[in-house]
Amino acid sequence: MNKFFFTSESVNEGHPDKLADQVSDAVLDACLKQDPHSKVACETACKTGMVMIFGEITTKANVNYEAVVRQTLKNIGYDHKDKGMDYRTANIIVAIEAQSPDIGQGVHGMGEKKEEEIGAGDQGHMFGYATDESDCYMPLTHLLATHLGYRLTVVRKDGTLKWVRPDGKTQVVIEYLRENGAMIPLHVHAILISTQHDETVTNDQINADLIREVINPVMAQYAKDRKTGASLFDEKTKIVTNPSGRFVIGGPHGDAGLTGRKIIIDTYGGWGAHGGGAFSGKDPTKVDRSAAYLCRWIAKSLVHAGKARRVLVQVAYAIGVVEPMSVFVDTYGTGNDEECVRLINHNFDLRPGVFSGTRGLNLKRPIYTKTASYGHFGREDEDFTWEQPKALQDPPASA
């Protein structure tokens, strides 16, 4: 089939799983702010009136974990029990232990190893993906779903739509044309928004307000043909808002939340591939996170350089081992796979201590809370160093 429909979804920062991701990354940032060499593996679980953080942390930082959790809840907007959580009265449970010395010795030698000697913090295989269907080299389905969710949060926080509450989900269906391996968006087929709301608003008002203040602005800015600028959104686009009919009970009161349950939303919306490891709450020695950023950096650099129209990159590691176990590239027929592998080996240092350090992506900084909602990729933020394409140099002819 040359034409097909594809769907991606996103969730707002008030979704209980995203709440958990943000708490875990807020704890990570608090540690890195005082000690860039902190080793953090922080998980979060939440339910009605309760947030629990647990895991392994070894750091010189002196962190008030309870205060970090409460501030994160406040920033999201959980300030009343009717919304599913109140940051002032929530029960905060802390169950943190130190990192296993077996892992510490095997990976970073308890601090005495140089960057180029540091091995991967665990085994795993990570993926990065890029496509030329949007200016930021992200799949358009995922890009639109993410921006709809972000816009929904903006109009909630700035008071434009006072009835909106923190929890919410979006979904976008696009009709595509497959052209020699590349993906060409043809039309926004359907848009779905489910948002938590207060008890007074009617479904008719919800529908009208979301179309006017959320859907139309996002579609006008992002739903365009990249070559012609023509709109991909029109009167034929199906719009569905709050199909359940009522969404007053939400957040942790409506559903439990756990770190790492939204890994596809965090990445490419179902396109490409995912190695399985979650990101949030993990310091850069954990290649589940840092090598996924590396792979995105590589993939975006290849597409930006015109080496492929879309590409999937995989790198695999063994715990404590410096060099990767394997490197894989699939350009879906839009480029030369073997040439791309040679370019990667010539232009990128794949050793974990190097690419996560100052000679690479400079990941030992407190930048992670903002990655934990609205996607880790495709963002216009200078702290997202993996989103800045690298100028590629051709390897010697004999390489």
pLDDT digits 0-9 by tens, 338-383: 999 999 999 999 999 999 999 999 999 999 999 999 999 999 999 9
Tens digits of residue pLDDT in 107-124: 555 556 788 888 888 899
Tens digits of residue pLDDT in 324-336: 999 999 999 999 9
pLDDT at 258 (0 to 100): 97
Which of these is catalytic: 169, 197, 296, 364? 169
Would you call 113 a catalytic residue per the annotation? no
pLDDT at 104 (0 to 100): 55
Would you call 256 a catalytic residue per the annotation? yes
Average pLDDT, the chain: 94
Would you call 288 a catalytic residue per the annotation? yes
Would you call 399 a catalytic residue per the annotation? no
Would you call 114 a catalytic residue per the annotation? no
b/e map 342-373, b = 16+ CB within 10 Å: bbbeebbebbbbbbbbeebbebbebbbbebbb
Please report which residue ranges of 38-139 form alpha helices under DSSP H. 65-76, 101-108
pLDDT at 106 (0 to 100): 52
Domain that residue 157 falls in:
3-10+140-249
Q: What does the alpha-carbon distance between residue 266 and residue 44 come to, in Å, rounded to a whole number?
A: 16
In a domain, 366, yes or no: no
Which of these is catalytic: 35, 175, 225, 256? 256
pLDDT at 153 (0 to 100): 97
Would you call 235 a catalytic residue per the annotation? no
Would you call 286 a catalytic residue per the annotation? yes
Q: Are 189 and 237 contacting, i.e. CB atoms less than 8 angstroms apart?
A: yes
The pLDDT-based confidence of 84 (bands split at 50, 70, 90) is: confident
Which of these is catalytic: 47, 261, 309, 351? 261
pLDDT at 313 (0 to 100): 98
Please state, for a pLDDT cut of 90, what percent of the chain lies above it: 89
pLDDT at 114 (0 to 100): 82
Which of these is catalytic: 6, 9, 13, 18? 18
Q: How many CB atoms lie within 10 A of CB 199?
A: 8
In a domain, 182, yes or no: yes
- What CA–CA distances, in Å, run from 128 to 89, 169, 303, 327, 386? 41, 24, 12, 12, 10
Residue with tokens 């590409």: 311
Strand ordering across the sheet containing 50-58: 91-97, 50-58, 39-47, 257-258
Total number of domains constituting the chain = 1
Which of these is catalytic: 6, 9, 13, 17? 17
In a domain, 171, yes or no: yes
In a domain, 362, yes or no: no
Which of these is catalytic: 6, 233, 247, 348? 247
Would you call 39 a catalytic residue per the annotation? no
Would you call 54 a catalytic residue per the annotation? no
pLDDT at 105 (0 to 100): 53
**Best CA proximity match to 376, nearest among 264, 260, 262, 266:** 266
Tens digits of residue pLDDT in 120-161: 888 999 999 999 999 999 999 999 999 999 999 999 999 999
Q: Is the pLDDT of residue 47 over 60?
A: yes
**Contacts of residue 208, Cβ cutoff 8 Å, sequence gap at least 6:** none
pLDDT at 121 (0 to 100): 83
In a domain, 68, yes or no: no
Tens digits of residue pLDDT in 242-281: 999 999 999 999 999 999 999 999 999 999 999 878 999 9
In a domain, 152, yes or no: yes
**7: its two tokens:** 């769907």
Q: How many CB atoms lie within 10 A of CB 123?
A: 15
CATH of the domain at 167: 3.30.300.10
pLDDT at 215 (0 to 100): 98
Alpha carbon of residue 187 to chain centroid: 25
In a domain, 245, yes or no: yes
Q: What is the mean pLDDT of residues 22-47?
A: 97
Q: What does the alpha-carbon distance between residue 257 and residue 43 come to, in Å, rounded to a whole number?
A: 11
pTM: 0.95
In a domain, 15, yes or no: no
Please state, for a pLDDT cut of 70, what percent of the chain lies above it: 96
Q: What does the alpha-carbon distance between residue 16 and residue 335 come to, in Å, rounded to a whole number?
A: 41
Q: How many CB atoms lie within 10 A of CB 230?
A: 10
Q: How many CB atoms lie within 10 A of CB 265?
A: 27
Residue with tokens 């309760």: 50
State the first-to-last Cα distance of the chain, in angstroms, to the nearest integer: 38
Strand pairing category for 91-97 and 79-80: unpaired
The pLDDT-based confidence of 202 (bands split at 50, 70, 90) is: very high
Would you call 4 a catalytic residue per the annotation? no
Tens digits of residue pLDDT in 221-245: 999 999 999 999 999 999 999 999 9
Which of these is catalytic: 147, 165, 197, 262? 262
Would you call 151 a catalytic residue per the annotation? no
pLDDT at 101 (0 to 100): 58
Which of these is catalytic: 255, 337, 339, 349? 255
pLDDT at 397 (0 to 100): 76
